[in-house]
């Protein structure tokens, strides 16, 4: 019999056999097949890990280990969602030496690529200079691109808050994943973030103090719903007096265009007072920087050798001090957020 005729006969036999099954059996078989296909696709997505470096592609080593400096991107599955993150491995990285890690969290309706843009935040340059691994997770977004993303920092913000997204669990998974790929000093893992990302850093200090030695939120106050950390976490808070979004003295300012997506922000003084109490610090701060346009003061004698430090710029609005802000109020140049926070992290 001709090959095409045999094929047609086989298909006809299969079709007859399937259609002779009871309707319930047909439905069950179809559902099982669709389920298996869905699971296969989900696993393929989970296994799809694309690593890119400046100037071309880079492949991770055995078991996904990274041994070369560069910029890498990964997609992972967490809590039924496809999530993304980036890693910048500094130029001087030595796989034989444990490196500190900085988790940098973008602002609300931003994304990991924006936070990793060196022309905006300068964290890539700082990573290369200081030798820390910079990790840029992407917040929750309905878009496949990951843009317009938010973090569930408690009372803020947007879709991540409204859908009660497990961002703490996601970032825990990211830290674990990076630690499997690189030689990370687990005692020197830090978090920073801008605005909603800064608020998320506070939630990490509350809910994941076993992972993070210190945090440095910028222009984002503590808006967690509850906070009972199991140990002291050092906190550096950086904020502009004239922030028109997350206002210094509390509330959402004129820069908060969608009030329903945010919250009535906790003030900077209340945030600092909360962490001074949580970390068991002495009541009186000590001024450690006083210059035109900025000051810093530190609360010491805290539990577990932790510290709480506040750095305030007179101007800059809702921005990252020392950065190049293209729109709105120019960022203050009185201090560099990157320099101040790394000096702080280096003590913890």
> What's the full length of the chain, in residues?
348
Task: State the average pLDDT over residues 15-20.
Answer: 37
For the stretch 153-178, pLDDT in tens is 999 999 999 999 999 999 999 999 99
Helix, strand or coil for residue 30? helix
* Residue 318 CA, distance from chain mean position: 19
75 found inside a domain: yes
Q: Please tell me the pTM assigned to this model.
A: 0.84
Number of domains in the chain: 1
78 found inside a domain: yes
Distances (CA, A) of 177 to 86, 146, 183: 11, 19, 11
What distance, in Å, lies between the first and last C-alpha atoms of the chain? 79
* Residue 318 region by backbone torsions, left for phi larger than 0, else alpha for psi between -120 and 50, else beta: beta
Q: What is the pLDDT of residue 327?
A: 75
44 has a pLDDT exceeding 60: no
185 has a pLDDT exceeding 90: yes
Instruction: Give dist(CA 193, CA 209) in Å, integer.
Output: 16
Confidence at 33, pLDDT banded by 50, 70, 90: low
Mean of per-residue pLDDT scores for the chain: 87
Q: What is the pLDDT of residue 36?
A: 52
Question: How does DSSP classify residue 259?
Answer: G
For the stretch 84-141, pLDDT in tens is 999 999 999 999 999 999 999 999 999 999 999 999 999 999 999 999 999 999 999 9
Confidence at 47, pLDDT banded by 50, 70, 90: very low
13 found inside a domain: no
Q: What is the pLDDT of residue 41?
A: 53
25 has a pLDDT exceeding 60: no
For the stretch 253-298, pLDDT in tens is 999 989 999 999 999 999 999 999 999 998 799 999 999 999 999 9
Instruction: Give dist(CA 197, CA 210) in Å, integer.
Output: 19
Q: What is the pLDDT of residue 8?
A: 42
341 has a pLDDT exceeding 70: yes
More confident residue, 206 or 45: 206
Task: State the average pLDDT over residues 48-68.
Answer: 55
Q: What is the pLDDT of residue 58?
A: 47
Q: What is the pLDDT of residue 193?
A: 98
For the stretch 70-84, pLDDT in tens is 999 999 999 999 999
For 169-197, letters b (16+ CB in 10 Å) and e give: ebbbbbbebbbebbbbeeebbbbbbbbbb
* Residue 30 CA, distance from chain mean position: 40
Helix, strand or coil for residue 113? helix
223 found inside a domain: yes
Confidence at 17, pLDDT banded by 50, 70, 90: very low
Distances (CA, A) of 170 to 60, 189, 210, 323, 325: 22, 16, 15, 28, 29
- Which CATH number belongs to the domain containing residue 327 in this structure? 3.40.50.1820
24 found inside a domain: no
Which range is most confident: 10-19, 56-65, 79-88? 79-88
Task: State the average pLDDT over residues 303-310.
Answer: 97
CA atoms within 13 A on the CB side of 172: 14
42 has a pLDDT exceeding 70: no
Confidence at 60, pLDDT banded by 50, 70, 90: low
Which range of residues forms the domain containing residue 46? Answer: 41-345
Helix, strand or coil for residue 150? strand
12 found inside a domain: no
7 found inside a domain: no
313 contacts 278 by C-beta, under 8 angstroms: no
22 has a pLDDT exceeding 80: no
Question: How does DSSP classify residue 140?
Answer: B
212 found inside a domain: yes
More confident residue, 51 or 246: 246
């Amino acid at each position: 019999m001709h090959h095409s005729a045999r094929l047609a006969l086989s298909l006809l036999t299969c079709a007859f056999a399937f259609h002779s099954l009871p309707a319930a059996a047909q439905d069950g078989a179809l559902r099982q097949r669709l389920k298996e296909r869905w699971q296969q696709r989900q696993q393929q997505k989970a296994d799809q890990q694309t690593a890119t470096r400046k100037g071309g592609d880079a492949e991770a080593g055995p078991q996904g280990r990274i041994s070369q400096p560069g910029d890498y991107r990964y997609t992972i599955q967490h809590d039924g969602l496809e999530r993304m993150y980036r890693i910048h491995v500094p130029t001087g990285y030595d796989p034989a030496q444990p490196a500190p890690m900085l988790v940098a969290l973008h602002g609300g309706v931003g994304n990991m690529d924006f936070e990793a843009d060196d022309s905006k935040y300068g964290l890539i340059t700082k990573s290369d200079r200081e030798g820390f691994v910079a990790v840029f997770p992407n917040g929750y977004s309905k878009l496949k691109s990951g843009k317009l993303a938010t973090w569930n920092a408690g009372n803020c913000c947007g879709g991540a808050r409204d859908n009660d997204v497990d961002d703490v669990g996601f970032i825990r998974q990211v830290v674990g994943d990076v630690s499997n790929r690189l030689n990370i000093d687990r005692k020197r893992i830090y978090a920073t973030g801008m605005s909603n990302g800064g608020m998320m850093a506070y939630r990490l200090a509350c809910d994941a103090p076993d992972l993070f030695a210190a945090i440095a939120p910028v222009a984002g106050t503590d808006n967690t719903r509850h906070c009972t950390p199991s140990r002291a976490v050092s906190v550096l808070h950086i904020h502009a007096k004239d922030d028109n979004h997350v206002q210094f003295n509390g509330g959402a300012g004129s820069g908060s265009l969608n009030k329903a997506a945010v919250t009535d922000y906790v003030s900077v003084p209340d945030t600092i007072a909360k962490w001074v109490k949580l970390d068991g610090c002495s009541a009186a701060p000590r001024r450690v920087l006083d210059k035109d346009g900025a000051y810093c003061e530190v609360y010491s004698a805290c539990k577990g050798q932790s510290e709480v430090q506040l750095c305030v710029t007179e101007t800059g609005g809702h921005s990252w001090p020392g950065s190049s802000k293209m729109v709105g109020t120019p960022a203050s140049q009185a201090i560099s957020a990157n320099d101040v926070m790394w000096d702080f992290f280096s003590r913890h």
